[in-house]
Structure 1
Amino acid sequence: MKENSWSKKSRKIVRGLIYAALFIGAVQFLFDPDPFNDYIGWGFLLMFWLIRMVHSAVRNLNDGHRNLAMLDVGMAIMSGLAVVAVWLTYFFGL
């Protein structure tokens, strides 16, 4: 039983570190002097939102809130499409 609680705690810590790294990276790229790096900042911010929505969907599905989980999945799909659009704009200038 203790191994399972440590696993939950370590997953929460790692998830928090990923969230913090993506958010700090987004802020750093959005506010630097090069305007072309704004695409990278928006990509980081959208990835933060995507990971957050997927985690929220899984948590809501486990709690039995199917409608909220479907809303989170829809928002995650929209965020994923936005991430693809931002990266295509950055790399190919489309």
Structure 2
Amino acid sequence: MNSNEATYKNSKKVPFILRNIVLVIIILIATIFLFDRNPSNDDVGWVAFIVFWTVKSGFDFIEDRKNGRKVSAIINLTLIAIGFGILLWQMISFLSL
């Protein structure tokens, strides 16, 4: 294994690690808000779960496009659209109160 191959493998690991760190932070925020004693924070926890779902689908969409998996990319794009729709609906209902 020469240094170019090692550098290439390390450059592939960094985005994967950063992606997982972002997803873990979002899931921790969601669980903190869902399982605290204040029941009014449950809405924030569910919205954080929807954000997690949307962000994970976005990362999967990008990966599927790179690897040429068109059907899976379309499914992930649909999940992203549904996630944004739910987030938009929650934002509108929150602001209309």
User: Which of residues 58, 63, 67 is equivalent to 2:62?
Assistant: 58
Give the gaps of 5 or more residues in structure 2: none
Matched-pair contact (CA < 8 Å) for 1:60–1:69: yes
User: Which of residues 38, 41, 47 is equivalent to 1:43?
Assistant: 47
Give the gaps of 5 or more residues in structure 1: none
Identity of aligned residues (%): 22
Q: CA RMSD in A?
A: 1.7
Deviates more, 1:4-13 or 1:48-57: 4-13
Q: 2: distance between equivalents of 1:93 and 1:27?
A: 26
Q: How many matched pairs?
A: 93
In structure 1, the residue matched to 2:31 is 27
Matched, 1:8 2:12: yes
Give the TM-score, by structure 2 length: 0.82
Which has the bigger relative contact order, CA under 8 A and spacing at least 6? Answer: 1
Which structure has the bigger radius of gyration?
2
Give the TM-score, by structure 1 length: 0.84
